[in-house]
Structure 1
Amino acid sequence: TTFDQIYKDSEMWIINMETVCSDQPRVHAFHYQFIAGLGWTPAKPLPAGNIQSFADGADNGLIVVSFGSALKTIPKELMDVLMETFENLPQRFIMRFDSEHPANTPSNVMLVSWLPQNDLLGHNNTRLFITHGGNNGQLEGLFHGVPMLTLPVFGDQFYNARRAFLRGHGLFLDLKSSSARQIHGAITELLLNPKYRKSVQRCSRILLDMPEPRKALSFWVNHVLKFGGSHLKPSSMQLPLWKFFMLDVAAFLAVSAAIMSACIFMCCRCTAK
């Protein structure tokens, strides 16, 4: 079975992407449904222990740092830049880091191999989310209304970083070339300029006012189970590419234009003689 067959035979595609206030509007047929936030859940109380006490004691604000599974190991040079940046800020930082802790880890930084990201983003003291720009993490940031500083690593993360910037939900920097001064400046801008928090929290309120994602998913799944999905698909899906792009028409027009040009050229030569 080829991907092309799966694409054409599938009754419906559910896309975990938000296109109302965090991305650009997209034109699509009904067999494509953009339903973001299927994993959204309200923040739960943090588990009792070091993480809870660290977050609760962040009187100057808490900043959550996570690169997800995008970086298995963070290069020492990058960690040195991050530690230097965090040390010179009054906020507390909790960072997912599954390696040996650097010797220069500041007292305002907690490094943990796992963190309850959703619950931390919903914590009252959280002021900023430093992320690699993965789609799920970005949606969690939107859900909780937390501004984001994105340091993309690969793939769609560069696009996600730019869409967050264009929508006013945060800033982005180059992960490899950014200095401690640049990261410090971006964090300061995001914390002190209220437009970012205002923008992302407005988007959060819009998303929470939309139909509940699980109900939307349930509706479309049940609809397809009852009626199938053929009425939702455009007929163009069954066309070969040369028909879809009307290459035969383009070829006919190109040949006609060439013949007409040749005739005009010959007529002009005969007239000149």
Structure 2
Amino acid sequence: MQLLRLGAPGSERPAVRTDEGVVHDLTPVTADIDGAFLGGGGLARARTALNAGELPVLDDSGLRVGPPLAGIGKIICIGLNYSDHAAETGATVPDEPVIFLKTSDTVVGPYDEVLVPRKSVKTDWEVELGVVIGRTARYLDTHEEALACVAGYVLSHDVSEREFQIERGGTWDKGKNCETFNPLGPHLVPADDVDDPQELGLRLWVNGELKQDSSTKNMIFPVAEVIRYLSQFMVLRPGDLINTGTPAGVALGQPDPKPYLRAGDVVELEIDGLGRQRQTFGAA
């Protein structure tokens, strides 16, 4: 089962796609796919309604695919969570997860245009596994408790501007929160439908050239530890999104001259079982 939201920005409607590729209208179950839906047993209701044939088939031809999650409370990101990525950027492998935040208004659909910021010279790509929280989490003790708080998994693109992030002082936030800097989707896959979040291949291409090709098994801090750790410092709530880090292959780690993104570039990315994205970059 795949959850998605279809329609123009701000007017998306919830839908569900079967394993056979048939799309059904989810509005008989919920007005949207958000924290209230995920935290209130919505996934189980959606699956029951789908299996019972209670959801009408939806013709999705011509409909924009929006981000599959609405009303995101907060986006927590983990930096340097793959040792090969830390090495390529010259960073020390962290002893504890590196945390930064993105604002929810950076989120766009998986095929929407991404804007290269004005005065940007170092816009970069990052394919990441996104984790969507479905149960309130605070001060968790075990990895089992942590994974029980996961509603589902999603493909996330943590676009970054490296000069803003690294060379302009202060925190990383300036290079992470530019407009359109978090394409999300195309669909949300319930946690029950993902056998092991640490066994997912993830890949990214720029203008048809493979740049990133790795697996979530190479994370320094796996999904369960990330959630457990975060719960010691903040309350995680249904509808929160965690971007769990990117592997090697980003522009920052390439030899000079580094191939940072420019208007007109096309980025494609995918994670096993979570779908594929495609963005054309434009000028802000």
Normalised by the size of structure 1, how large is the TM-score? 0.28
- Max Rg structure: 1
Give the structure with the larger strand fraction.
2
| Greater RCO (CA < 8 Å, at least 6 residues apart) | 2
Normalised by the size of structure 2, how large is the TM-score? 0.28
Give the structure with the larger helix fraction.
1
